[in-house]
Amino acid sequence: MISARKFKYKQVIAVRTDLGMSKGKTAVQVAHGSVSAAERARTTKQEEWRAWMREGQKKVAVKVDSEEEIMELRRQAITHNLPHAIIRDAGMTELPPGTLTVIGIGPAKSESVDEVTKDLKLL
């Protein structure tokens, strides 16, 4: 029997689905968003970052339909004082240079991240 573990900290990575990225490209962009947001948290919210690291580094990938939705998530992350990172593609494979692909939000307390991301659907 698998027990449901309650995580106190998490990170959410929101991915644009309107770009038609391949699965591999999507995976790499999610990784960029996760690492970049975690690095931001490590330097600005060190206590929460350490707790997230100890707890197992919960990550959730969700989907959005546009650049505008990502920018709104960014505004909300700023309002809620959450570490975050916007990722723009270098343009070396599938997308034009500078295309905004994902936003990583957190790691931070789960309830704080949920205030910004709770209505988003899983990727």
Q: How far apart are CA 52 and CA 89, in angstroms?
A: 27
Q: What is the pTM of this model?
A: 0.94
Sketch out the chain's domains with CATH numbers: 9-122 (3.40.1490.10)
Count CB-CB contacts under 10 A for residue 99. 17
pLDDT in tens, 56-83: 999 999 999 999 999 999 999 999 999 9
48: which 2 tokens?
Answer: 């929460």
DSSP 8-state class, residue 40: H
Tell me the pLDDT band of 6, cut-offs 50, 70 and 90: confident
81-100 tens-digit pLDDT: 999 999 999 999 999 999 99
Find, among 55, 56, 39, 30, the residue nearest to 106 by Cα. Answer: 39
The per-residue pLDDT for range 41-57, each reduced to its tens digit, is: 999 999 999 999 999 99
